[in-house]
C-alpha cells in the first residue's frame, strides 16, 4: 500500500495552531506524510480542517471551503476529508448533513481519535461523527509535529471557567483542565533538548492555572521554574486575565531573566458598565492598576491588548471610556475587533445591538488612537539597540527588501537589512543586536549592520532541518485571534 499524504488547514487562534501540530503528529504516527502538492488540498489523500467558531462568518467560510473540496475529492479517488475544532464541536452531524462528502467529524475533546475515525470511515465507507463532552486525553500527551525548531507552544491548560458573554469558548472547549507542572516542565525540557530556545505557555486564562489542583500561585511558580531550565532563552505566555492577575506573577516575571518583558492583557472594553455586561469581573481601574505595577517592576515591558468595539448597549460615553483607558495604557499594539453576533453566546440575543455604521465609526477612531500611541512608543526606540531573535515568516516583504525579521525581547517585530555575506547572515533562531533606524506604528526597522550575531542551538536545529519550518510563520505572541 502506498504511503498516504495529509494536509491540515488551520483557522483561528494559537490554540488551534497548536492543536494542528498534534493532528499532524498523530497522522504521521499513523504512517502518513505531509503533502507537498499545490492548491487548497495540497494534493493530499487526507485533508483536515481544524476550524474556529470565534471568527465572524466562520460557518460561511467553512461550508464554502468544504463545497470547493467536494469537487477536488471527485477527481481524487480515496481522498478523505475530516473536520475538527470548534465548528465541529458546535455543528456536529450538521456538517455531514450539509456536506455529505465529509468523512470524519471530530471535536475539541477527542483529537486523538482522528486516525481511528479515518480508518473506520474508510472500512465502513460511511461518515464518522464523534464528539465528546469531556476531554479524553490532554492534547500535549498526543504526538506532535512541531512547526518551528527554535520556538514552541506548550499548553498548560485547556478550557475556561469564565463565562464572558461574547465568547463561545466555554461552550466548545469546556471547563478548565490544568496540566500538572511536572508534565509541563518535562515537555519544555524535552523541547529545549531538541533545540527550542523560546516557548510560549498557552491557556485560555493562564492566571487561573492551578485552580484545578488548588494552588493559586501555580502560574508564578511555573514561570520561576522555567527560569531554571538551561538553554531556555525566552519564555512568553498567553493569555492572562485581569480578573485573576496577581502580584506574584508580576514579581515572577520581573525576577526571572528568561521571562520576556511583554504582556498581552485583554482589556475588551474600558467602560465598567460594558465590562459588567460582558461578565468580565474586573473594572478599568483594576486593569490600569495592574499595568502600572507591571511597569513599576519592568519599565521596559511592552503591553498589548484586545478590544471589542460596539458590544450590545455600548453608548458613545462607554466608548469614550475605552478611549480614555487606551490613552492611559500606552499599548504597544492592540488587536481591535468590531463586535458581531456569535450564535450560541449570551450576547447574541442581548438588546441594544449597535448599528454597523456606528460600530465602524468608533472602530476607526479607536484604531487611529491605538496606532498613534503605538507609533509614539515605537519611536522611542530610534537610535536604540534591541536584541532580535530571527524567525521564519515574520516579514512578508523580506525577500524583495533584502531583510530578515524577528522579534525583540518585548515581542516587537523588527525588520533588519542584511547583506549577502553568509558569515554575517543570521539563520532563523539566531540572535543578534540591531540598531533601530526607523520606527513604524507596527514594526521597527534596522538599516545598520548587525552586531553580536550569535549562532544558537535553535539556528542549528533550523539548519539541520530537524523540523522543516513553515513559510507562513506562527507569530509567537501575536496570534490572529485570541480570546482571554
Ligand atoms: S473570553 Fe477568554 S476568559 Fe472569557 S470566557 Fe472566553 S476564553 Fe474564557
pLDDT by 10s per residue, the chain, length 484: 689 999 999 988 778 888 899 999 999 999 999 998 888 889 999 999 999 887 767 778 889 999 999 999 999 999 999 999 988 988 898 999 999 999 999 988 889 999 999 999 998 899 999 988 777 777 777 777 787 889 999 999 988 999 999 988 888 888 899 999 999 999 999 999 999 999 999 998 999 999 999 999 999 999 999 999 999 999 999 989 999 999 999 999 999 999 999 999 999 999 999 999 999 999 999 999 999 999 999 999 999 999 999 999 999 999 999 999 999 999 999 999 999 888 788 999 999 999 999 999 999 999 999 999 999 999 999 999 999 999 987 777 777 778 899 999 999 999 999 888 888 899 999 999 999 999 999 999 999 999 999 999 999 989 887 444 443 333 333 333 344 5
- Kindly report the CA angle at 40 between 35 and 44, in degrees rounded to 5? 30
- Ligand 1, atom 2: closest residue by C-alpha: 484
In this predicted structure, what is the pLDDT of residue 248? 96
| Ligand 1 pocket residue status of 482, Cβ below 6 Å | no
In this predicted structure, what is the pLDDT of residue 81? 96
| Ligand 1 pocket residue status of 170, Cβ below 6 Å | yes
Distance (Å) from CA 205 to ligand 1 centroid: 7
Distances (CA, A) of 299 to 85, 221, 292, 309: 39, 22, 9, 29
- Ligand 1, atom 3: closest residue by C-alpha: 484
In this predicted structure, what is the pLDDT of residue 186? 94
Q: What is the CATH number of domain 146-329+343-363?
A: 3.80.30.20
Give the span between the Cα atoms of 291 and 296, in whole angstroms.
Answer: 9
Q: Coil, strand or helix: which one is 380?
A: coil
Give the span between the Cα atoms of 427 and 263, in whole angstroms.
Answer: 27
Copy the grid coordinates of residue 264. 498581552
In this predicted structure, what is the pLDDT of residue 484? 54
In this predicted structure, what is the pLDDT of residue 147? 79
Give the span between the Cα atoms of 357 and 313, in whole angstroms.
Answer: 15
Distance (Å) from CA 161 to ligand 1 centroid: 8
Question: Does residue 319 come out as left (phi exceeding 0), alpha (psi in the -120 to 50 range) or beta?
Answer: alpha
Domain coordinates in residue numbering, the chain: 5-130, 146-329+343-363
Distance (Å) from CA 338 to ligand 1 centroid: 17
Residue whose CB lies within 8 A of the most ligand 1 atoms, among 53, 167, 267, 345, for a mutation test? 167
Give the span between the Cα atoms of 302 and 264, in whole angstroms.
Answer: 8
Give the span between the Cα atoms of 308 and 223, in whole angstroms.
Answer: 29
Q: How many residues comprise the chain?
A: 484
- Per CATH, domain 5-130 is 3.40.50.12160: yes
Backbone angles phi, psi at 355, to 5 degrees: -60, 145
In this predicted structure, what is the pLDDT of residue 15? 80
In this predicted structure, what is the pLDDT of residue 1? 62
Atom of ligand 1 minimally distant from the CA of 279: 4
| Ligand 1 pocket residue status of 172, Cβ below 6 Å | no
Distance (Å) from CA 271 to ligand 1 centroid: 18
Amino acid at each position: 500500500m502506498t504511503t498516504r499524504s495529509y494536509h491540515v488547514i488551520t483557522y483561528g487562534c494559537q490554540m488551534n495552531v497548536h492543536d494542528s501540530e498534534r493532528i499532524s503528529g498523530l497522522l504521521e504516527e499513523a504512517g502518513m506524510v505531509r503533502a507537498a502538492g499545490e492548491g487548497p488540498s495540497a494534493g493530499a489523500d487526507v485533508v483536515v480542517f481544524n476550524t474556529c467558531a470565534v471568527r465572524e462568518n466562520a460557518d460561511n467560510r467553512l461550508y464554502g471551503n468544504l463545497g470547493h473540496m467536494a469537487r477536488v475529492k471527485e477527481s481524487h479517488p480515496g481522498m478523505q476529508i475530516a473536520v475538527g475544532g470548534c465548528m465541529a464541536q458546535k455543528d456536529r452531524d450538521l456538517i455531514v448533513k450539509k456536506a455529505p462528502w465529509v468523512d470524519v467529524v471530530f471535536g475539541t475533546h477527542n483529537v486523538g481519535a482522528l486516525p481511528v475515525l479515518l480508518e473506520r470511515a474508510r472500512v465502513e465507507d460511511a461518515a464518522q461523527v464523534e464528539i465528546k463532552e469531556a476531554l479524553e486525553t490532554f492534547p500535549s500527551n498526543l504526538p506532535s509535529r512541531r512547526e518551528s525548531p527554535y520556538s514552541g507552544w506548550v499548553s498548560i491548560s485547556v478550557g475556561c471557567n469564565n463565562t464572558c458573554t461574547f465568547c463561545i469558548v466555554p461552550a466548545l472547549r469546556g471547563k478548565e483542565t490544568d496540566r500538572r507542572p511536572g508534565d509541563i516542565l518535562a515537555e519544555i525540557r524535552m523541547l529545549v533538548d531538541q533545540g527550542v530556545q523560546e516557548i510560549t505557555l498557552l491557556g485560555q486564562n493562564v492566571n487561573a492555572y492551578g485552580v484545578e489542583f488548588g494552588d493559586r500561585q501555580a502560574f508564578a511558580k511555573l514561570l520561576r521554574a522555567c527560569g531554571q531550565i538551561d538553554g531556555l532563552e525566552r519564555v512568553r505566555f498567553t493569555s492572562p486575565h485581569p480578573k485573576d492577575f496577581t502580584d506574584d506573577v508580576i514579581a515572577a516575571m520581573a525576577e526571572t531573566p528568561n521571562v520576556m518583558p511583554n504582556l498581552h492583557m485583554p482589556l475588551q472594553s474600558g467602560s465598567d458598565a460594558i465590562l459588567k455586561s460582558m461578565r468580565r469581573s474586573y473594572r478599568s481601574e483594576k486593569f490600569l492598576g495592574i499595568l502600572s505595577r507591571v511597569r513599576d517592576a519592568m519599565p521596559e515591558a511592552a503591553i498589548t491588548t484586545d478590544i471589542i468595539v460596539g458590544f450590545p448597549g455600548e453608548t458613545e460615553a462607554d466608548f469614550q471610556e475605552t478611549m480614555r483607558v487606551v490613552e492611559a495604557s500606552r499599548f504597544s499594539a492592540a488587536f481591535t475587533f468590531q463586535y458581531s453576533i456569535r450564535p450560541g453566546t449570551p450576547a447574541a440575543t442581548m438588546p441594544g445591538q449597535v448599528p454597523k455604521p456606528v460600530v465602524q465609526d468608533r472602530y476607526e477612531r479607536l484604531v487611529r488612537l491605538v496606532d498613534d500611541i503605538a507609533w509614539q512608543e515605537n519611536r522611542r526606540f530610534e537610535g536604540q539597540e534591541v536584541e532580535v531573535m530571527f524567525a521564519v515568516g515574520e516579514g512578508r516583504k523580506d525577500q524583495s527588501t533584502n531583510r530578515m525579521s524577528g522579534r525583540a525581547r518585548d515581542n516587537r517585530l523588527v525588520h533588519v537589512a542584511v547583506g549577502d555575506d553568509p558569515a554575517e547572515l543570521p539563520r532563523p533562531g539566531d540572535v543578534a543586536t540591531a540598531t533601530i533606524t526607523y520606527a513604524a506604528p507596527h514594526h521597527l526597522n534596522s538599516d545598520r549592520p548587525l552586531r553580536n550575531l550569535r549562532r544558537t542551538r535553535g539556528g542549528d536545529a533550523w539548519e539541520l532541518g530537524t523540523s522543516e519550518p513553515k513559510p507562513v510563520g506562527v507569530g509567537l505572541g501575536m496570534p490572529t485571534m485570541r480570546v482571554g
